[in-house]
Structure 1
Amino acid sequence: MFTGIITDLGTVESLEPTPGGARLVVTGRLPHDVAVGDSIAVDGVCVTVTSLAEASDAVMRTFTADLMPPTLGRTTLGGRSGGDRVNLEPALSAGGRFGGHVVAGHVDAVGTVVGRTAGDLADQLTVALPAQLARYVVPQGSIAVDGVSLTVAELHDNADDAGGCFVTIGLIPATLEATTLGQRTPPDRVNLEVDLLAKQVERLLAVQEVARA
């Protein structure tokens, strides 16, 4: 489990195809107790560390993760290349500080940045969400964008037949500096994970409805 609080900006060393998908190699600052087999969120995507080595800087470490076809098809990681910056968050340890919201690292869909406005106190980023996610998003609710826990400042339903919605989020200077969202502009694609609790409630209500039928 993650919280959407990014701990470091990592750098993609390479993304190479493999017979079963692709192999991603990333360098970044990781806690000293991270080990092979642990989970790390890369741009909001939960991956498993398959190898781990010290990088040139004693603080930096290089890790490898294998990406399966569903991950490549559902997220933006398949489009990464050497030199790209990515948001990193190790899995939350027992007793760790919970600063964001519940983030599973299971990306629901890819959205598109459709607007960006600079402000005195914060930038405003507007993202188009696909129709299947619109019902899980509410004003002042939580959403993870490229793994970053954010609050929905404005929500506008799409008026055309495609459905979906537009979400506007505020990006304070600390978020702009500590995450890749400082560089996101139209028409960039971003990984989206809606509130897990909303999906659980929907499923529970659906099961109850079937039981009553």
Structure 2
Amino acid sequence: MFTGIIEELGTVKNVQKSASSMQLVIRAERILEDIKLGDSIAVNGVCLTVIEFSQFQFTVDVMPETFHATTTKLLNSGSAVNLERAMAANGRFGGHFVSGHVDGVGTILKKRPTANAVYIDISVPEEVSHFCIPKGSITIDGTSLTIFEINKSTITVSLIPHTNKETVLGMKKERELVNIECDMLGKYMHQYVTNKESTITRDFLKQNGF
């Protein structure tokens, strides 16, 4: 479980890629302070397992499902990546519940500086748009953000200067792809409401003040 609060920018040091899988060696500093074999690390929002590490780098495997369903396959040696360790039970919870399981891949349509912020318009797949609501939480490349505008299959998020500087979103350009994970609670609620056998329906929620 993660929070979407990026701890540091890492750098891909080495990539071994096949037709449907890959292995990444990633250079990092802060997240290696207490790293152990088998730990979960979110890399651009994708939960990956540490299989090897040293003082300045760690290694992860990318299986076929992750390879095909995320932007991880586009990483090359030298690519910058967002990194976050799994959430500690005794720490502050600054973002929202993030599983590291990507729901879909979106495309950056437009980036526009506005005052001290950067607005980013992102097209999202139809299967992802169902879970997007104004003021709702969303994870873009592992970064916890708030949706402040929706227009059909396009969402708009805003980056404060710190997020723009300290995450890969600040580096990415228009037409580049991003990993998207929708709010976990919203996905569970959608599943309950659309399940024909569920007793929780839209009418039930409305009658009970939701």
**Same fold, TM-score > 0.5, yes or no:** yes
Indicate whether 1:174 and 2:162 are aligned.
Answer: yes
- Counterpart Cα distance in 2 of 1:210 and 1:150: 33
> What's 2:24 paired with?
24
- Mark the CA change 1:146 to 1:19 in structure 2 (over 3 Å): closer, same or farther: closer
- Mark the CA change 1:145 to 1:115 in structure 2 (over 3 Å): closer, same or farther: same
Local SS of the residue matching 2:28: strand
Alignment deviations for residues 107-130 of structure 1 (CA, whole Å, 9 cap, x no partner): 011100001101221010010000
Q: Higher mean Cα deviation, 179-188 or 99-108?
A: 179-188
Local SS of the residue matching 1:201: helix
How far residue 72 of structure 1 moved from its aligned partner, in angstroms, is 0.6
> What's 1:39 paired with?
40
Query: Taking every aligned residue pair, what percent have the same amino acid on both sides?
Result: 40
- Counterpart Cα distance in 2 of 1:183 and 1:18: 27
Indicate whether 1:97 and 2:92 are aligned.
Answer: yes
> What's 1:52 paired with?
53
- Counterpart Cα distance in 1 of 2:111 and 2:121: 6
Q: CA RMSD in A?
A: 1.4
Indicate whether 1:183 and 2:171 are aligned.
Answer: yes
> What's 1:161 paired with?
none
Where do 1:57-206 residues align within 5 Å?
Answer: 61-157=56-152, 165-206=153-194
Unaligned runs of 5+ in 1: 55-60, 158-164
Q: Which amino acid is the alignment partner of residue 122 of structure 1?
A: A
How far residue 135 of structure 1 moved from its aligned partner, in angstroms, is 1.0
Contact 2:6 2:142 in 1 (8 A): yes
How far residue 19 of structure 1 moved from its aligned partner, in angstroms, is 8.5
TM-score (norm 1): 0.89
- Counterpart Cα distance in 1 of 2:198 and 2:70: 35
> What's 2:197 paired with?
210
How far residue 63 of structure 1 moved from its aligned partner, in angstroms, is 0.3
TM-score (norm 2): 0.90
